[in-house]
Amino acid sequence: MLDLLDLNLNINENKVFKYFSEICTIPHGSGNMKKIADYCENFAQKHSLQYIRDNADNLIIYKSGCLGLENAKPIILQGHLDMVCQCDQGTVIDFEKDGLSIFCDGDFIKAKGTTLGGDNGIAVAYIMAILSSTDIPHPPIEAIFTTDEEIGLLGANALDTSVLKSKMMINLDSETDDVLTVSCAGGQDTVLTLPFTAKEKSGTVITITISGLLGGHSGVEIDKGRINANILMGRILNHLSTYDFDIISINGGTKRNAIPDSCVAEILVLDTASILKELENYSEILYLELKSRESGLSIEYKTVESTATCLCDNAKQKLLDLLNIVPNGIMEMSNEIEGLVETSLNLGVLETSENAVSLAFALRSNKKTAMDYLESRLISIAKTIGATAETSGFYPPWEYKENSPLRELYKKCYKEQNGSDIKVEAIHAGLECAVFSSTIKDLDCISVGPNMFDVHTPKEKLSISSTVGTFNLLLKVLKESVNL
């Protein structure tokens, strides 16, 4: 248990850290949900609260409104139960069985050698402190604890929302206390597959390696001007296409939602000296062009005499054309929210198999119609080039709501508490708000949370003062929400 007695916290604030400490003792990595769901179920039983636990281990816990507020409009408080499990090299832990070792470091709570799971354990702790209280004014509460958010919003997608009455929801999965999130992107994966007939040839094999790029998250960093290694490799090979060469393979990236920071291509040539000279010259041109954006860019090449299996000439040209024309990066910026990337895509994985080359894209948009149009563009490109297109992994966007009384209430309460305006923003990544807003008609939803840093890494830390401040702001919003 965290020792927070010297922080002069009141009983409900102490409860937040008490529950968070207990959560940290329970293994709750994504895909390992039973024990943490048991904990939540036992909590509901201990406090004589009605609850539902479904086959995905999601829980909905109901609490009536306080005296005099029994008939007020209900409100949903929501967070997810799973955490991302990462540890430092040398840290010995079995995330399937072991809890975390947490400690205070100044204003921060950290875990020894591992991720902390503040994302999203602090949301669960907030909600439990409210559900267990006897002196916090609030309307009827429908508390939702979802599972496996970090691996695809799986719990939220499996939840039957017909058992909910509320049309207002506060999601507690944000990580900056002076930002109010009001929209997020939806997404899907689209894979273009170009088949080829293999041919065997002998000559000089040149291995071209692009490395040292910044990479990053295809939602968070897509607007940072970072170079996609797969697209850059396509550019290099297209530049070399005035020379005679065959493609053996191209492979780059490991995750569709990550901007690839490296790519490796193997080509087979006969006129080795000419191509190497042109490759050297063009590499220098690219270094000069891109140095302000990608100072760590490295383009290396090595040669070996060999016999190799290559793409047939027709497939080679189609692949080069495909890499030259596929869209990548930002497609549209929002006219509603300043600075928001509205629609984008990322060629995250480029992979060569025995008889096909596949290009796997992550599509994102805060508007479903825009994402549908982007998908149709990729399908048209695939048809034109002789490739196939397959779509999977769709999750809906949470579109910006013009009229949001809950948003305006949170803004008002924040200013009253802090003396300044909160920033209202949208994100170009996924939140469970998107799932709930797609299944609950006319849902008025916001996402908030305390300051957390280096989330999903062993450096993760949660601000104690921000946790307290955000909790008290949440209580103020709950109290005043009865007037909405």
Cis peptide before 120 (omega within 30 of 0): yes
Q: Which of 13, 57, 119, 149 is catalytic?
A: 149
Residues 88 and 123 grouped into a single domain: yes
54 is catalytic: no
Separation between Cα atoms, residue 29 and residue 7, nearest integer Å: 30
pLDDT by residue for the chain (484 residues), tens only, comes to 566 545 779 999 999 999 999 999 999 999 999 999 999 999 999 999 999 999 999 999 999 999 889 999 999 999 999 999 989 889 999 999 999 999 999 999 999 999 999 999 999 999 999 999 999 999 999 999 999 999 889 999 999 999 999 999 999 999 999 999 999 999 999 999 999 999 999 999 999 999 999 998 888 889 999 999 999 999 999 999 999 999 999 999 988 888 999 999 999 999 999 999 999 999 999 999 999 999 999 999 999 999 999 999 999 999 999 999 999 999 999 988 888 999 999 999 999 999 999 999 999 999 999 999 999 999 999 999 999 999 998 888 998 999 999 999 999 999 999 999 999 999 998 899 999 999 999 999 999 999 999 898 899 999 999 999 999 999 999 999 998 8
Residues 82 and 204 grouped into a single domain: no
390 is catalytic: no
Residues 317 and 349 grouped into a single domain: yes
Residues 459 and 373 grouped into a single domain: no
- What range does the domain containing 119 cover? 5-185+398-483
Residues 289 and 365 grouped into a single domain: yes
Residues 326 and 249 grouped into a single domain: yes
Residues 354 and 408 grouped into a single domain: no
pTM for this model (two decimals): 0.80
CATH of the domain at 377: 3.30.70.360
* Domain final residue, candidates 395, 410, 425: 395
* Domain final residue, candidates 375, 395, 415: 395
Q: Which of 82, 148, 175, 246 is catalytic?
A: 82
Residues 125 and 263 grouped into a single domain: no
- Split into its structural domains, the chain has a count of 2
Residues counted in the chain: 484
Residues 351 and 448 grouped into a single domain: no
* Domain final residue, candidates 395, 410, 431: 395
Residues 387 and 451 grouped into a single domain: no
Residues 170 and 25 grouped into a single domain: yes
Residues 423 and 387 grouped into a single domain: no
Residues with Cβ within 8 Å of residue 384, at least 6 apart in sequence: none
